[in-house]
């Protein structure tokens, strides 16, 4: 029987190896344990049924024997031993239960007066209650259940019943219960094997996909069946995780390539300046100029790395645990106060509009950084006369941070790219192409969305967050 693990290298074959693999399977052991529990329950239930069935039949027989014994004793007391002997003979020949009835009437000396069983010494002793013994009935051995009474004249009366039919019934019921137990055990084992194969086939698909991904093929995904069961939902969740991992890995490769490309140019400029300054006889003014240039370039690179570290920290989700209730109005007020001198210097009219009670759960510093990035871009690209509006808005379930300018805006085809690290629409404007990438990462950390829409003219950048108390874990 093949399973999802038949492709193991060095796999042993043979019955013993198959049994060993079965026992090593957690699925098989769980299913077998469940099956054994069911079988034990059935065995207990069938045993109770057997005891109750046989017990009811035996109790009925005992009641019949007691009733017949009392009737015979009453007959003896009323009519004497001769009439009792005639009554026994008539009962044995009336054709009613004659094949199972057992009677014996013997004198005190042991002489048989009537009945269908042979007299023996142990049968002449009175019994306490009802007993079962082997007797010689009509010339053959009979396993009978009987009651012995000592009559007033010393004679002995034995009233019983042949238990051959009862024993046959007990054996039949016992065999049926035993067969049911054997079938139950076999079904439990077969069910455990089938359950194990079904489970391993589903787990095997996950394992094979994991092996292909481990080999470097990040495009592989787990096949999802049309059934809405636990494995289908698990496969769907794992595929979503793999999609996210693939996106992150592509991002890492892109960032690595871009960083290497962007570092090469400033480092080459720094090296060229320092090489010129290090030549013998170089004018001290040139040395000082080269040193100042190198320091400025290194500071620019430090800013780039700081932004990359902030993006990485936001994407990791490490700061989500420190979220606290924050007022978006306070954040906007602080950022606007910081940028008012910059806007005034560049001749940008800076407007602020805020709704009341705009609260969210988040990291105040990160949200302030996101607003600052949006406001910085708006001031850079604002039109003429330049106007930038920063506002907060409150809806029933959400709150928003909105920055709007009257600049050229962003074409719809380019909006999906502006959140990519180092992507710049206009390279004539100073920048590193990390501002909107940082905003996107911060919005994702807060379970928020970043939307860029046309303001006609200009651009509306909107960060929409869940209202305080509406935050959902991602």
Mean pLDDT estimate for the chain: 78
| Of 59-68, 87-96, 221-230, minimum mean pLDDT range | 221-230
CA angle 117, 119, 124 (to 5 degrees): 115
Please tell me the distance from the alpha carbon of residue 170 to that of residue 27, in angstroms, as a whole number: 39
Among 126, 164, 167, smallest CA distance to 147 is for 126
**What is the pLDDT averaged over residues 23-28?**
64
8 Å CB contact between 393 and 455 = no
Among 207, 85, 92, 211, smallest CA distance to 157 is for 85
Q: Give me the pLDDT at residue 9, please.
A: 44
Please tell me the distance from the alpha carbon of residue 265 to that of residue 421, in angstroms, as a whole number: 17
Encoding tokens for residue 390? 């920063």
The model's pLDDT over 330-378, given as tens digits with 9 standing for 90+, comes to: 988 988 888 888 888 888 888 889 888 888 888 888 888 888 888 888 8
- In this model, does residue 38 exceed pLDDT 60? yes
More confident residue, 274 or 311: 274
For the domain spanning 320-466, the CATH number is: 3.30.565.10
More confident residue, 238 or 470: 238
| Of 119-123, 226-230, 266-270, 386-390, minimum mean pLDDT range | 226-230
Fold of 78-166: Beta-Lactamase (3.30.450)
Q: Give me the pLDDT at residue 427, please.
A: 47
**What is the pLDDT averaged over residues 176-196?**
79
- In this model, does residue 399 exceed pLDDT 70? yes
Q: Give me the pLDDT at residue 451, please.
A: 85
Q: Give me the pLDDT at residue 379, please.
A: 86
Which single residue is written with the structure tokens 């046309």?
Answer: 454
- In this model, does residue 6 exceed pLDDT 50? no
Strands 387-394 and 349-354 come out as parallel
Q: Give me the pLDDT at residue 172, please.
A: 82
Q: How confident is the model at residue 26 (pLDDT cuts 50, 70, 90)?
A: low
More confident residue, 97 or 337: 337
Q: How confident is the model at residue 143 (pLDDT cuts 50, 70, 90)?
A: confident
Q: Give me the pLDDT at residue 460, please.
A: 87
Q: How confident is the model at residue 407 (pLDDT cuts 50, 70, 90)?
A: confident
Q: Give me the pLDDT at residue 275, please.
A: 84
Q: Give me the pLDDT at residue 59, please.
A: 86
Please tell me the distance from the alpha carbon of residue 440 to that of residue 179, in angstroms, as a whole number: 69
Q: Give me the pLDDT at residue 316, please.
A: 57
Q: Give me the pLDDT at residue 307, please.
A: 67
More confident residue, 415 or 450: 450
Q: Give me the pLDDT at residue 47, please.
A: 77
């Amino acid at each position: 029987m093949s399973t999802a693990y038949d492709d193991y290298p060095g796999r042993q074959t043979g019955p013993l190896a198959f049994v060993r693999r079965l026992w090593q399977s957690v699925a098989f052991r769980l299913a077998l344990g469940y099956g054994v529990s069911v079988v034990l329950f059935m065995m207990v239930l069938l045993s109770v049924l057997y005891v109750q069935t046989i017990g009811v039949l035996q109790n009925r027989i005992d009641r019949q024997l007691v009733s017949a014994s009392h009737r015979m004793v009453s007959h003896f007391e009323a009519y004497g031993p001769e009439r009792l002997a005639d009554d026994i003979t008539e009962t044995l020949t009336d054709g009613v239960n004659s094949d199972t009835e057992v009677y014996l009437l013997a004198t005190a000396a042991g002489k048989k007066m009537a009945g269908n069983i042979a007299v023996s010494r142990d049968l002449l002793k009175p019994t306490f209650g009802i007993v079962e013994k082997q007797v010689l009935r009509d010339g053959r051995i009979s396993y009978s259940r009987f009651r012995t009474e000592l009559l007033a004249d010393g004679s002995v009366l034995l009233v019983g019943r042949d238990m051959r039919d009862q024993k046959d019934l007990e054996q039949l019921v016992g065999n049926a219960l035993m067969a049911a137990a054997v079938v139950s055990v076999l079904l439990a084992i077969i069910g455990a094997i089938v359950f194990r194969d079904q489970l391993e086939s589903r787990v095997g698909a996950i394992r094979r996909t994991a092996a292909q991904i481990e080999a470097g093929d990040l495009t592989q995904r787990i096949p999802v069946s049309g059934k809405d069961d636990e494995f289908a939902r698990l496969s769907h969740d794992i595929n979503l995780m793999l999609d996210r991992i693939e996106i992150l890995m592509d991002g890492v490769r892109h960032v690595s390539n871009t960083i290497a490309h962007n570092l090469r140019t400033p480092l080459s400029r720094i090296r060229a300046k320092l090489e010129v300054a290090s030549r013998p006889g170089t004018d001290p003014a040139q040395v000082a100029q080269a040193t100042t240039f190198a320091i400025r370039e290194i500071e620019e690179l430090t800013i780039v790395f700081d932004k990359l570290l902030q993006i990485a920290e936001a994407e990791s989700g490490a700061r989500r645990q420190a979220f606290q209730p924050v007022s978006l109005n306070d954040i906007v007020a602080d950022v606007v106060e910081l940028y008012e001198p910059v806007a005034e210097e560049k001749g940008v009219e800076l407007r602020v509009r805020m709704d009341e009670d705009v609260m969210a759960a988040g990291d105040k510093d990160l949200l302030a950084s996101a607003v600052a990035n949006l406001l910085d871009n708006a001031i850079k690209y604002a039109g003429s006369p330049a106007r930038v509006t920063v506002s907060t808005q409150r809806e029933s379930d959400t709150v928003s941070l909105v920055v709007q300018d009257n600049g050229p805006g962003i074409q719809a085809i380019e909006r999906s790219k502006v959140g990519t690290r180092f992507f710049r629409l206009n390279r004539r404007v100073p920048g590193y192409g990390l501002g909107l990438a940082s905003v996107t990462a911060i919005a994702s950390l807060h379970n928020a969305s970043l939307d860029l829409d046309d303001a006609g003219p200009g651009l509306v950048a909107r960060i929409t967050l869940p209202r305080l108390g509406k935050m959902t874990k991602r």
